[in-house]
Amino acid sequence: MDKRKQAIEKAVRKTLINIGEDPDREGLLRTPERVARMYDELTAGYHVDPVKLVNEAIFEVDYSEMVLVKDIDFHSLCEHHMLPFFGKAHVAYIPDNKVIGLSKIPRIVEMFARRLQVQERMTQQIADFLCEVLHPMGVAVVVEGAHMCSMMRGVKKANASMVTSALTGIFKSDPRTRAEFMEHIGRRRFDD
């Protein structure tokens, strides 16, 4: 077992004791190990090589209209309370003779979501990364999220959601392009 997982297990065991639990009781015996594995999975985005992620999936194409992948499910952890937030991401770009493989956009979202995050930064990171690898005419990212930290604690508002956006290039400068994007993400799915 690596040192990082051992350290997490030790910290979880100590936390259980500090909240008044017995880490040696039957239901909690393997909890430190499970939590360590969970954090390994939920923070896997720190260990993704972005270059390998898009490796050989950028193609020269004579296409300059909007490409949109919407309703991408994501789960992340709020960096302030380490509680989950989750929702949907909508990602569009206008190519400048380069497109990226369809499966790569959800993987890019996941790479940034699988970290300790704030939704605002995650939204911007997705847009910035696509700009960096594609050099498109513009990128638009809208993320809708529900945050357990505001549902379970603090204000306790279960129905509140957060919407963040990052717009670059033509999406920022041309209201018609931005409106087209917003219209597309507001439409129901074709299979609903």
131 is catalytic: no
75 is catalytic: no
Catalytic residue among 81, 131, 180, 184: 81
47 is catalytic: no
78 is catalytic: yes
Catalytic residue among 9, 117, 125, 147: 147
Catalytic residue among 79, 120, 132, 135: 79
Catalytic residue among 80, 120, 132, 135: 80
6 is catalytic: no
Catalytic residue among 78, 90, 110, 124: 78
Coil, helix or strand at residue 73: strand
Catalytic residue among 33, 131, 144, 149: 149
Where helices occur in the chain by DSSP H, the ranges are 3-18, 31-42, 50-53, 104-113, 119-134, 148-152, 170-173, 175-186
90 is catalytic: no
Q: Which residues of 167-189 are buried (b: 16+ CB within 10 A; e: fewer)?
A: bbbbbeeeeebbebbeeebeeee
Give the residue numbers annotated as catalytic, written as ranges.
78-81, 119, 147, 149
